[in-house]
Amino acid sequence: MTALKNTVPNTRSDDERPVVLKVDHVAKSFRLPTEQATGLKMAFLNWTKGIKGYTEQKVLKDISFEVRQGDFFGIVGRNGSGKSTLLKIISQIYKPEQGVVDVRGKLVPFIELGVGFNPELTGRQNVYLNGALLGFTRAEIDAMYDDIVEFAELEDFMDQKLKNYSSGMQVRLAFSVAIKAQGDILVLDEVLAVGDEAFQRKCDNFFAAIKKDPSKTVILVTHSMDAVKKYCTKAILIKDGEIIVSGNKNDVADRYTLENLKKKQSEPTEQPEGEYATGLNETVPVLHVVPTGEPICSLTEGFDFTVEYDYHGNKPFYVAISLNDIRRGGVPYGDSFDLFEPGKHSVHFRIPMGLFTNGEFRLIASIHEWDGHNPETAQMIAFTNESNACDFSVRDADGLDNFALINKSSMAYQVLDTQLARRQQQ
């Protein structure tokens, strides 16, 4: 496994490529109906009463960015952040309230795969219909038809009605049309997770190829940070209708992970009176691990966290804290600490992360009672569940090569036959 150093795009050369999509101060709001007004009668009644019947919700506020030819542009954001609305505005399905969207070249939108697919038509007819809706003439589709069918691996099924296809086959056909459609700008919304493994690999290759083609531009909306890091050259992160990070894909991906972690913490863990969350009980009604600062750290600074507990027993007790690797699974590290004070307290800790590489980790704490010296007598009386454990991320320029958990500067194989093998230069 060689280290895949990310080639940071040279911003200077960017300026020479033409801008193919320019989104300029775009804003959009929707009217959410509060009154049921789907009939003439209700509309009239509301009108006479002076009820507006809707509330205005700002979905996008002043979005501006540029995409240049050859970019693989990622748009990420949590659910409901306005990504899809933005995509629909780019595809001219929605009209922006303010601002302008300027598209140069043929834009092929895939808000959803298989638009216009009709179960009663055959695969072939559907390809032509779908193609026409995407703006291709019969002759153009004729030219790419064989490619589409081959890519979808559906040669034997094209004259079957679509309703006789399995759902996987339908998706494959739709996706093949999508990526074989020879547009200048390809707009894709959450389409990376389709098909079986072999098909996934094919798509992978396709994206890798299109990334190299300087004449094709791709705009990709996704939740998969792996996809962003792998394919994108640039990305933006949208939150509540605003761009909060723009430019470098790694910054965007990291910030997105951070936003997700933050969201998780702010979720209230309210419990009804007299009931305890999983892992807690009346002896230990409170036990959770929270980050002291941000839920993200670098390799050098280590991660600060706080264990809050409330112990109502009267035996010697201690807390065991284990570090879990979320992505790979397993517990790379763990230790226990005697606690001196019963009652409600917060204890601050720091864990150095210098041994590891970038990743997502979880700290789980559990409270044990014992007689103070014989480990045999120890009994776990409380533990943190999914919602009150602490998730955090390690993000560091030196930890990018995160194939393995432990980084190469902390540990190294020793070559015993130096005449036969040599460690690769970093």
- Position 55 contacts another protein (CB under 8 A): no
Provide the angle, in degrees to the nearest 10, between the axes of the packed helices 138-152 and 167-180. Answer: 130
Q: Shortest approach of another protein to residue 364 CB, angstroms?
A: 44
- Position 111 contacts another protein (CB under 8 A): yes
Provide the Cα torsion 116, 185, 27, 260; round to 10°.
90
- Position 137 contacts another protein (CB under 8 A): yes
Selected range binding another protein among 131-139, 289-297, 337-345, 410-418, rule: CB under 8 A = 131-139
CA atoms within 13 A on the CB side of 148: 28
- Position 43 contacts another protein (CB under 8 A): yes
Q: Which is nearer to another protein, 161 or 211 (CB)?
A: 161
**Which of positions 243-272 make contact with another protein (CB under 8 A)?**
none
CA distance 207 to 74: 13
Selected range binding another protein among 71-79, 129-137, 316-324, 408-416, rule: CB under 8 A = 129-137
Using the rule CB under 8 A, which residue among 1, 40, 411, 420 binds another protein?
A: 40
Give the closest residue to 363 by CA, choosing from 326, 324, 319, 337.
Answer: 324
Determine contact, residues 131/147, Cβ cutoff 8 Å: no
Interaction mask 57-96, another protein, x per CB under 8 A: -------------------------------x--xxxxx-
Q: Which is nearer to another protein, 137 or 215 (CB)?
A: 137
Helix (H, G, I), strand (E, B) or coil at 255: helix
CB atoms within 10 A of CB 375: 9
Residue the block writes with tokens 């010296």 = 373
Q: Shortest approach of another protein to residue 146 CB, angstroms?
A: 20
Give the closest residue to 256 by CA, choosing from 232, 242, 238.
Answer: 238
Q: Which is nearer to another protein, 105 or 313 (CB)?
A: 105
- Position 27 contacts another protein (CB under 8 A): no
- Position 120 contacts another protein (CB under 8 A): yes
- Position 116 contacts another protein (CB under 8 A): yes
CA distance 75 to 238: 7
Determine contact, residues 397/295, Cβ cutoff 8 Å: no
Q: Shortest approach of another protein to residue 132 CB, angstroms?
A: 4
Please state the separation of Cα 333 from the chain's center in Å: 27
- DSSP H/E element including 28: strand 19-33
**Which of positions 171-200 make contact with another protein (CB under 8 A)?**
none
CA distance 374 to 383: 21
- Position 109 contacts another protein (CB under 8 A): yes
Give the closest residue to 9 by CA, choosing from 262, 167, 233, 202.
Answer: 233
Selected range binding another protein among 116-124, 165-173, 301-309, 382-390, rule: CB under 8 A = 116-124
Selected range binding another protein among 134-142, 214-222, 314-322, 418-426, rule: CB under 8 A = 134-142
Determine contact, residues 69/18, Cβ cutoff 8 Å: yes
- Position 343 contacts another protein (CB under 8 A): no
Q: Which residues contact another protein by CB under 8 A?
A: 30, 38-41, 43, 88, 91-95, 109, 111-112, 115-116, 118, 120-121, 125, 128-129, 132-138
